[in-house]
Amino acid sequence: MAQIFPERLNNLPLAVGLGAPLGLIGAVAFVWYFFSPWYTQVGYQPTQPVPYSHKLHAGDMEINCRYCHAAVETSAVASIPPTQVCMNCHQLAKKDSPLLQPIRDSAASQQPMEWVRVHELADYVYFNHASHVHAGVGCVECHGRIDQMEVVKQEQPLSMGWCLDCHRNPGPHLRPPDQVTNMRWAPSAAHDELSAQWISERHIKPPTDCWGCHR
Amino acid sequence: MTDYWRSLGELEGSPEFEAVRHREFLEGAADTPDGISRRTMLGLMGASLSLSGLAACRRPVEKIVPYVQAPEDMLPGIPQRYATTMPFRGNALGLLVVSNEGRPTKIEGNELHPATQGSSNAFAQNAIYELYDPDRSRVVLQGGAEKTWADFLTYWKPLHAEHVADSGAGLAIVAAPSTSPTEARLVTLLKQRFSQARVVTWAPLGNENRQAGLRAATGAEIEPVYALDQARVILSLDGDFLQDDPDAIRLTRAYSAGRRDPAAMNRLYVAESTLSITGIAADHRLAIPSGAIAGFTLALATELGKLGVPVAGVSGGGTVFDAKWLSAVAKDLKANAGKCVIIAGAQQPPEVHAAVAALNAALGNAGKTVSYASAGTAARSRVADLQALAGDLEAGKIKTLVLLGGNPAYDAPADLDFATVAAKAANRIRVGLFVDETSAVADWHVPQAHFLESWGDARAIGGPLSVVQPLIEPLFAGHSVIEVLALLESAEEKPGYDLVRETWKPVLGGDFDKGWEKTLHDGVLSGSELAAQPLPAADMSTIAKLASFKAPQGFELVFLPSSVVYDGSASNSAWMQELPEPVSKLTWDNAALISKTDADGLGIHDGDMVTLALGDKSISAAALVLPGQAVGSVGIALGYGRTAAGRAGNGVGFNAYPLRTTKTLGFAAGLTVTKAGGTHVLALTHEHWSQEGRDIVREKDVAGHGHSATGGHDEHGEHDEHGGHKHPPLVSPWQERTYEEGPQWAMTIDLNSCVGCNACVIACQSENNIPSVGKDQVTRGREMHWIRIDRYFSGRPEAPESIVFQPVPCMHCENAPCEQVCPVAATVHGETGLNEMVYNRCIGTRYCSNNCPYKVRRFNFYNFTKDTPETLQMAYNPDVTVRARGVMEKCSYCVQRLTRATRDAKLGNRAMQDGEAKTACQQACPAQAIEFGDIRDPKSRITASKASPRRYDLLAELNSKPRTSYLSRMRNPNPELSA
């Protein structure tokens, strides 16, 4: 009787037996990695050229975010302060601190500082700080309690799904515009009614179209 | 319905065309340029993918580099705009330049400047490319060895002393034409110091003949300023005033404005040899050789004389060609005396220009449709001066030759043999943007600063004075022409800023700083227009002198300015090389343009190599059969066949300068054309993206249908009330989306205004980071332009009845066919009605392009942006993604501009104004053919435009509901000729 299966399929059971578990492991590894905070780099906390403490400046001394991040209300980027802004204070305060040597070098040599980006979006994402600040989204919503961080770290996944959660339901993330930089602001019991009112007053309609952020 | 065709292949149904039209992507379109097959490529891609997968496990560390001291009035992420001026062929274009963090990235017209009025042209847009051109010269060179600016100073100082001693007897300077008051002042100073020095102005193309003609007719140094919006009848004699004229932006705007109102539409007659965009715009066109224009002008004068126009001394003669045509034109001119204008082309001899000025005066147009402004201190090209200088160089009288800008070794008349005689000067100094053919002649080469890098000033045609304001420090330590002139004069370095301010002190008077700031801010000095003068007593006897021109026999060769590289100065721009020449749709080449009749007689087909011989000189060039070309006339664009242009321009096309002499700058009679054997691949785009003969373009006659007529041809009664095809009721298989909130963007393109000038194509390329792909890629149908300009002929190829331009960007269909077929939802619809293309989702199936009825999608077959040189990367718009290989892309309605306008309004707590959001193509269009805005706003200009009876949608019967609509073309034929 002729064989039903040709000889070259002899190894098929072996291939399936080995391949199927490997495929399964691959799928698990894929989800494990790409669906995890490791992939989105939550907790990313690089070392900066100067151990600048947001806890000290923004927290303890209550310097407003906008003193340094001056473009945040008008531009797409919040802007990292020029060396000159650091020197506004530090030519008097702690003017001999060795930790501040890179800042003084930068001011003297006119060579810019090179800070390490913590909150990094893909190149095809066009995020705009001004729109969010204008709508009343607090700094803390995306950046976490910066005022309590000695070294800034990434608190939120900054993934597309995470963005869309808020874009589809912005209410819980809104606050009065004058409280945007207030890290300690907490919503009142009547937040739902208030936020509904803000949404209609400020014409808040976050885009969920692709070209809202990608183009 | 009229049958339209885009190429002779289409008209004749050639097998090549049939092969092209049925393929979405041309044969071999998916192959890589170096011949790797698709399968090999997939293998390689697989390997690189797995490698990149491993590499991507670790995200690269990104640095943020802030300023040390932030500049005033500047926040990162917010582009700034500065007014500046582009010196342009003896004119000055007022521009607003967008600068991102100190990088100029986009050119726009300055609304306050009369020469641009907010529009621009392809050459102005290209200034960004030119600034960042990776082949620009970067260092001072002496005999090819790197030197410094300080070395050059050391070299010049003793030489300066030497020439002070001989009063400049051995010193000659060749400069490009300029209208800069500062340059004129420095040249005057230089002539004071070196009383015997020669300062020669030379450019291969320009209005030298027109100035010479006016000088002959009036004895004054004047230039004409046309007011085409006042003209009811325009006659162009071999003049492409919509493209080649230095003032083309202003002229196009005025011409288009004169065609808006069907009740008072101007009528354009064109007599020309080579089909130009002005000829395409014409209501009536007569194809006659350039050499016959003089005879034709005399015949016209005779005819006008018979009608009672005072043309003293004209007693017949001339060549009539088409008696009916001539008589109709003459009657129309006479009937509209004082409201008509005659314009002669730059390549016509001075005698024709003198006669035309006299005719304009006789018709009472002077001071009305054409006025005359003093040429002032402008330095204008004079071939006689260059000829005299070549003689002196030959005789060894010139010791020091300074070549400031321009490229005379490449483009000077062939009989001067400039490169050879220039080498006879002992000291040869060259200042140029590129190390080009002329630098090869010089022993010192000094990098020139681009106009976007230097201070300067310029006067526009008609007088408006403005400042050239730098946008960026010189990238390669270049020096501007005025800085070099100051150095030549005084042997001292003087900054351009001081030189310009010194010139402007007496101009502004009074409160200098305040006037200076305002001029810089506005980009033009208000009130600086020169007083227009009527023509000072035109000499009518100039007309009769045309009788000395004999009717041409045999072939003539017409030297044309290239619509894309001009005289060769834009040769190294990949943007310009890849821009399809508006009439022939040829890219990356020029060709000997020949009529169908002559080609058939000689047995020549597209791409055949021919030998063009004039006397003992000859060149080889590829032939291209151009419908509408005058029989007996062969046209060839200058500016090609360069040997030292740079990576994009070297060896592209055929150099026609070797045939051009001081006597034949415009055209030359006595040409012999012979088939040379062999063929040349011509990268023509006119057969790409075929519309398969569907009802795409519509035009109508004003007279035939009355003023409230509808759009299309409806002589067969098969069109609906909007001029579209009658079609069954449209039923959608889907639940159609409604658009009731927010701005709903839409566009109309007025085919009646569009002149096909290509400004929109380059503006789009600059705005949207569109790559150039190269000749080989274009022949495979891979050009990436998001907006293309189709050109449709109707009638016989020997004498096309009408020709229509149609710009085609993405239609942004409400029921977009592309969206239905994307397997990964990479193209979807947005709330503002935009058809969105999401690059990061696209996997490159190309189904969308297959299913797009309008053929507006472009696929990145190759990683075209991978090897973009670093300097050119600075030209990128930071608001638009730079696309990688394997993704589809297409017109986005400049979504980044729409988003910015919407956001700015929202941040300002105000409603968006109509016209606040403009697309790049709309902004650039000198004809104002593109309208764009929110169709939900009942008062917006777009709503009014959409309500026009001329409006029609492309392929409306597909129920795709395009947001881009067209307004049909209107013709205003003379009833006498159309019968």
- pLDDT tens digits for A169-195? 999 999 998 999 999 999 989 999 999
CA–CA distance, B244 with B65 (Å, rounded to integer):
45
Q: Among B78, B840, B896, whose Cβ lies nearest the Cβ of A74?
A: B78
| Mean pLDDT for the stretch of residues B928-936 | 94
Report the C-alpha gap between B606 and B623 in whole angstroms: 6
**B140-206+381-508 placed in CATH 3.40.50.740:** yes
CB B306 within 8 A of CB B331: no
Contact A75 B78 (CB under 8 A): yes
Residue B104 host element (H or E): strand B103-109
Using CA atoms, how far apart are residues A90 and A133, in angstroms rounded to an integer? 29
Average pLDDT across chain B, whole number: 88
CB–CB of B77/B70 below 8 Å?
A: no
Model confidence at B709: pLDDT above 80: no
Chain B interface includes A75 (CB < 8 A): yes
Alpha helices (H) along B25-148 = 38-55, 122-132
Which of A41, A75, A117 has its CB closest to that of B76? A75
Q: Cα separation of B268 and B242, whole Å?
A: 12
Q: Note whether B924 and B125 are within 8 A (CB).
A: yes
Partner A, chain B 732-771, Cβ-Cβ below 8 Å? 741-742
Q: What is the mean pLDDT of residues A118-122?
A: 90
By C-alpha distance, which of A112, A56, A54 is closest to A82?
A: A112
Mutate: best of B58, B63, B68, B865, partner A, most A CBs <10 A? B68
Question: How close is the nearest chain B Cα to the Cα of A118, in Å?
Answer: 8
Q: What is the Cα Rg of chain A in Å?
A: 25
Mention the CATH class of domain B4-25+688-707+741-976: alpha beta
| Closest to B243 measured CA to CA, from B766, B804, B759, B833 | B759
Check CB contact of A114 with chain B, cutoff 8 Å.
yes
Give the whole-angstrom CA distance, residue B892 versus residue B899. 11
Determine contact: B281 vs chain A, CB below 8 A: no
Identity (one letter) of the amino acid at B400? T
Cα distance between residue B257 and residue B750, in whole Å: 12
- Tell whether A88 lies on the interface with B, counting CB pairs under 8 A: no
Q: What pLDDT is stored for residue B979 in this prediction?
A: 62
A108 touches chain B (CB under 8 A): no
Mean pLDDT of B465-475: 94
Would you tell me which residues 120-139 of chain A have a C-beta closer than 8 angstroms to some C-beta of chain B? 120, 122-124, 126, 128, 130-131, 134
Residues B1 and B373: their CA atoms lie apart, in Å, by: 47
Cross-chain residue pair B66–A113, CB shorter than 8 Å: yes
Structure tokens at A187: 């919503």
Reply yes or no on whether the pLDDT at B24 is more than 80: no
What is the pLDDT at residue B284? 93
Nearest to A82 among B68, B741, B896 (CB): B68
- Strands B145-147, B140-142: pairing kind: antiparallel
Between chain A and chain B, the number of residue pairs with CB atoms below 8 A apart is: 117
User: What's the DSSP call for residue B907?
Assistant: H
CATH code matching the domain that covers B552-684, chosen among 3.40.1280.10, 3.40.50.300, 2.40.40.20, 2.60.40.420: 2.40.40.20
Contact A71 B895 (CB under 8 A): no
B895 neighbourhood in chain A, CB within 8 Å: 211, 215
Distance CA B240, CA B368 (A): 21
pLDDT at B51: 44
Q: What is the pLDDT of residue B652?
A: 93
- Using a CB–CB cutoff of 8 Å, tell me whether B75 touches chain A: yes
Q: Which two tokens stand for residue B925?
A: 């269009």
pLDDT score of B829 more than 90? yes
Select from B75, B831, B892 the Cβ nearest to the Cβ of A209.
Answer: B831
Whether B65 and A115 lie within 8 Å, measured CB to CB: yes
Eight-class DSSP state of B480: -
Q: Encoding tokens for residue B74?
A: 């500047």
Asked if residues B187 and B174 have their Cβ atoms less than 8 Å apart, the reply is no
- Residue B7: pLDDT band (50, 70, 90) is confident
What is the C-alpha to C-alpha distance for residues B894 and B509, in angstroms, rounded to an integer?
Answer: 44
**pTM given for the model:** 0.90
Average pLDDT over residues B470-493: 94
Q: Which chain A residues touch B742 with a CB distance below 8 Å?
A: 205
Beta carbons of B77 and A113 less than 8 Å apart: no
- 8 Å CB contact of B61 and A215: no
What residues of B are in contact with residue A111 (Cβ under 8 Å)?
68
The ranges assigned to domains in chain A are 54-80+118-212, 82-114
Question: ipTM higher than 0.90?
Answer: no
B232-241, B373-382, B850-859: least confidently modelled range: B373-382
- pLDDT confidence bin for A2, thresholds 50/70/90: confident
Task: Note whether A118 contacts B: Cβ–Cβ < 8 A.
Answer: no
Q: Which of the residues B739, B899, B909 would you substitute to probe the A interface, choosing the one with the greatest number of A C-beta atoms within 10 Å?
A: B899
DSSP state of B143: T
Q: pLDDT of B333-375, one tens digit each? A: 999 999 999 999 999 999 999 999 999 999 999 888 998 888 8
Dist CA B582 CA B278 (whole Å): 11
Whether the CA torsion B644, B649, B652, B654 is positive or negative: it is: negative
CA-nearest of B799, B553, B797, B549 to B672 is B553
* Average pLDDT value for residue range B154-182: 93
Question: Does the structure show a pLDDT above 90 at A86?
Answer: yes
What percentage of chain B carries pLDDT values higher than 70? Answer: 92
Q: What are the domain boundaries of chain B?
A: 4-25+688-707+741-976, 83-132, 140-206+381-508, 208-374, 552-684
Which of the four CATH numbers 3.40.50.150, 1.10.8.290, 3.30.1520.10, 3.40.228.10 does domain B208-374 have?
3.40.228.10
Question: Is B666 within 8 Å of B346 (Cβ atoms)?
Answer: yes
**Vertex B550, ends B547 and B554: CA angle to 5°?**
160
Residues across chain A: 215
Count Cα neighbours of A101 within 13 Å in the Cβ-side half-sphere.
Answer: 2
Q: CB A131 to CB B836 under 8 A?
A: no
* Rounded Cα distance, A176 and B852, in Å: 47
Residue B606 confidence (pLDDT): 92
pLDDT band, very low/low/confident/very high, at B713 (cuts 50, 70, 90): very low
pLDDT tier at B734, thresholds 50, 70, 90 = confident
pLDDT of residue B453: 95
Task: Find the mean pLDDT for residues B108-119.
Answer: 94
DSSP letter for B587, please. Answer: E
In this predicted structure, the answer to whether residue B518 has a pLDDT above a threshold of 80 is: yes
Residues of chain B with C-beta less than 8 angstroms from the C-beta of A124:
839-840, 881
Would you call A115 and B77 a contact, using CB atoms and an 8 Å cutoff?
no
Query: Of the candidates A71, A115, A207, which has its C-beta nearest B76's C-beta?
Result: A71
Q: Which two tokens stand for residue B805?
A: 């331009």
Give the distance from residue A55's alpha carbon to the nearest chain B alpha carbon, in angstroms: 21
CB–CB of A124 and B896 under 8 A? no
Least confident of A36-50, B339-353, B551-565: A36-50
